[in-house]
Structure 1
Amino acid sequence: MFRKLLAMTAAMGLLYGSAASAQTALSFGHVGEPGSLMDVSANRFKEIVAEKLGDEYVVETFGSSQLGSDEQMMQKMRLGTVDFALPSTVFSSVVPEFGVFEMPYLVKDREHMKKIAEEVVWPTLAPAAEEAGYKIIGVWENGFRHITNNVRPINTPADLSGLKLRTPSGEWRVRMFSSYGANPSPMSLSETFTALQTGVMDGQENPLTQISATRFQEVQKFLSLTGHVYTPAYVTVGLNKWNSWPEEVQTALMEAAAETQPFVYETAAKMDEQLLDELSQAMEVNEADKQAFIDASDPIYKEFGEQVEGGQEMVDKAIALGSGS
């Protein structure tokens, strides 16, 4: 009887092990905190994938840099140890052409961004990403970026003079703020709160959803609505991992990323309005002189156009797509 019981237990173990092995868990890492746009976007994608693929392929989301910084997740996707990530600015450090989205005031609004995605991202940037070992399957949003700090309100570039400013890893963001007179330093998002709290950094720049979700309002006095850069977020997979999945799975994932996109824009617009009201209760808010920043941005556009292959053509196309937006 005992031997029969052991055999039955072993058989059940094989059955359950076989069922479990049939399910493929897809890790999706990002740096957004709970409630951030990245967080709700990734979870919406997870839901749509479940509707399309059932229990066969299950997306598991890991926010708050649990799977590493943006830079680390980019490396892990190449190695295949992370399936999905949602990089933004960091892509310009891996593929120089993505620096087009580091150009200040390039993107006017979300309708303009839709056109840029269709005419610039998919035909030009996505193939460049593949050459570097990455597959982009969706273009979502990080958002319009604003400056917070503990020194003074930022009205014009001159107000940035000497300010120790945390930035994400992106060569052109650093160059831009350096040209404005700031002291920019790339730093992972997960380390930024402590850097601001201890005074290692005076300020930082991020979309309102990241500012709120990361609680920067607890350690910052001033919020200046500069809107200096709009950063997309790219639903990305390591190319080798992508090629290992069946075609029908690839199709379902591409469709899920595309179907999530309208939710992302709608949610982002609502968050911008709601969070500005909330953040204004915790920080002094001012509208920056955007024209002063635009006037000071000519050198960075010139450098990008000269130093990145095809850079000027991408900038020209993106600007032309904004006429009438």
Structure 2
Amino acid sequence: MTKILAGFAALLMMGSAALAQEYKIRLPNVDPPLSKVGEMAYPNHTYAMMRTFKDALESLSGGRMAVELYPSGTLGDLRENLEAVQAGVLEAATPNEATISGFFPKIQLTTIPYVFPNAVVAWDVLDGEWGDALFDEMAATTGLRAVAIGENAGFRIWGNNVRPITGPADMKDLKIRTMEITAHQEMVSSLGALPTAIPWLEVYGALQTGVVDGAELPVIGTLQQNLQEVLKYATIDQHVYSLVFIVVNEQWFQGLPPELRQAVVLAGRQAAVAGRGVSQTLVGDVVEEFRRRGVEVTSASPEQIAAFRDTAQPKVVEWMVGQFGQDQVDGFKAAVAAAESDLKVD
């Protein structure tokens, strides 16, 4: 961490000579700017969010703020970036919910399995009063303010090399890779499988050598890492809606003039919409590419999803209650129910 902070400090000193703008934001991510799907190349969903944030903020601030983009891991991994933001050495970062959970565990409430019936309900909850309260608490307790809540390729999927997964019984005794997030591990365990936390860049080798039978995966990232080469089966069951954020240092944010704080907030909301749109566009094409490359894809029916939910959710909810309290879990589930009700067509 000391070396990382020293590196960022050097960048800060180098940038201080550029006086054309009053404020600078350095915004890194680990992914490349483009996602390749077959013969097509798309903006990566996180990069689309970053690029929109840059263009919107520079315009909204009248040129008073400049945003520098650092994709492809040029400033370190997601956790290193978030540590640097918290330390005030870097202005912004683009973590996912797993990375944030190490700093703000309550974000795991959003990972209750099968809680969101679709992406629109998730957006309504995250952009509404419940989400505002959660992210205000995160800013107050961690010094990390989420200014954009994007979509990390939407709902995650199951991939494996043993058999098609169409119900909870098919998960029994499979050794499944997860991110380093306890809620995901509890979900895998509740379905009768054996969770194994493996870093993202090691998943290909773990699947190829049989260290794990399968993995809990992001749709777009799976193709970017060529995991279709080492997977036989994939199941789309909407078990967890994955998030990606633009997070800024809270002290830095509060030190901005009011009109520039407003510009950051507006640019963040615009960026979230752009990232979600690109993510939604990419996912369908990626799934078709899986099929084209020989992966057997199963899309779970509503009845199958209900069976997964009835098996997985109780144990995870019990764990959440133990971690965060019954009122927190009930409040989140009530927000989801209210969003579902509000979005129904009469």
TM-score (norm 2): 0.80
Where does residue 14 of structure 1 map in the other structure?
none
Structure 1 residue 319, shift from structure 2 partner: 2.8
Structure 1 residue 19, shift from structure 2 partner: 6.5
Where does residue 268 of structure 2 map in the other structure?
257
Where does residue 319 of structure 2 map in the other structure?
303
- Which whole-Å CA distance do the structure 1 matches of 2:198 and 2:88 have between them? 24
Where does residue 218 of structure 2 map in the other structure?
207
Structure 1 residue 166, shift from structure 2 partner: 2.2
Structure 2 residue corresponding to 1:270, chosen from 281, 284, 291: 281
Structure 2 residue corresponding to 1:286, chosen from 285, 293, 298: 298
- Which whole-Å CA distance do the structure 2 matches of 1:81 and 1:164 have between them? 39
- Which whole-Å CA distance do the structure 1 matches of 2:287 and 2:215 have between them? 17
- The answer on whether the counterparts of 1:103 and 1:229 sit within 8 Å (CA) in structure 2 is yes
Q: State the secondary structure of the residue aligned to 1:155.
A: coil
Written as runs of structure 1 = structure 2, the 5 A alignment for 1:230-249 is 230-249=241-260
The two structures, once aligned, show a CA RMSD in angstroms of 2.4
Distance 1:316-1:287 versus aligned 2 partners, 3 A rule: same
- Which whole-Å CA distance do the structure 2 matches of 1:195 and 1:242 have between them? 41
Structure 1 residue 55, shift from structure 2 partner: 5.2
- The answer on whether the counterparts of 1:37 and 1:210 sit within 8 Å (CA) in structure 2 is no
Distance 1:239-1:153 versus aligned 2 partners, 3 A rule: same
Structure 1 residue 234, shift from structure 2 partner: 2.3
Match of 1:108, as an amino acid?
P
Distance 1:147-1:80 versus aligned 2 partners, 3 A rule: same
Written as runs of structure 1 = structure 2, the 5 A alignment for 1:1-325 is 20-23=18-21, 24-33=23-32, 34-35=34-35, 36-53=44-61, 56-90=64-98, 91-117=100-126, 118-142=128-152, 143-282=154-293, 283-288=295-300, 289-296=304-311, 297-309=313-325, 310-323=328-341, 324-325=343-344
- Which whole-Å CA distance do the structure 2 matches of 1:104 and 1:81 have between them? 35
- Which whole-Å CA distance do the structure 1 matches of 2:141 and 2:88 have between them? 16
- Which whole-Å CA distance do the structure 1 matches of 2:284 and 2:45 have between them? 13
Match of 2:318, as an amino acid?
K
Runs (5+) with no aligned partner, structure 1:
1-16
- The answer on whether the counterparts of 2:161 and 2:232 sit within 8 Å (CA) in structure 1 is yes
- Give deviations 1:235-275, integer Å, cap 9, x for gaps: 21122332343433322221111112322232222212222
- Which whole-Å CA distance do the structure 1 matches of 2:337 and 2:125 have between them? 9
Distance 1:81-1:40 versus aligned 2 partners, 3 A rule: same
Distance 1:20-1:125 versus aligned 2 partners, 3 A rule: closer
Runs (5+) with no aligned partner, structure 2:
1-14, 36-43
- The answer on whether the counterparts of 2:94 and 2:245 sit within 8 Å (CA) in structure 1 is yes
Distance 1:234-1:223 versus aligned 2 partners, 3 A rule: same
Distance 1:199-1:269 versus aligned 2 partners, 3 A rule: same
- Which whole-Å CA distance do the structure 2 matches of 1:27 and 1:279 have between them? 35
- Which whole-Å CA distance do the structure 2 matches of 1:294 and 1:59 have between them? 42
- The answer on whether the counterparts of 1:78 and 1:240 sit within 8 Å (CA) in structure 2 is no
Structure 1 residue 140, shift from structure 2 partner: 1.2
Structure 1 residue 176, shift from structure 2 partner: 1.0
Aligned pairs, number? 309
Please say which of residues 227-236 and 66-75 is displaced more in the overlay: 66-75
Q: State the secondary structure of the residue aligned to 1:228.
A: strand
Where does residue 7 of structure 2 map in the other structure?
none
Structure 1 residue 214, shift from structure 2 partner: 2.6
- Which whole-Å CA distance do the structure 2 matches of 1:63 and 1:140 have between them? 16
- Which whole-Å CA distance do the structure 1 matches of 2:47 and 2:292 have between them? 24
- Give deviations 1:152-173, integer Å, cap 9, x for gaps: 2222222222323222221111
- Which whole-Å CA distance do the structure 2 matches of 1:109 and 1:148 have between them? 21
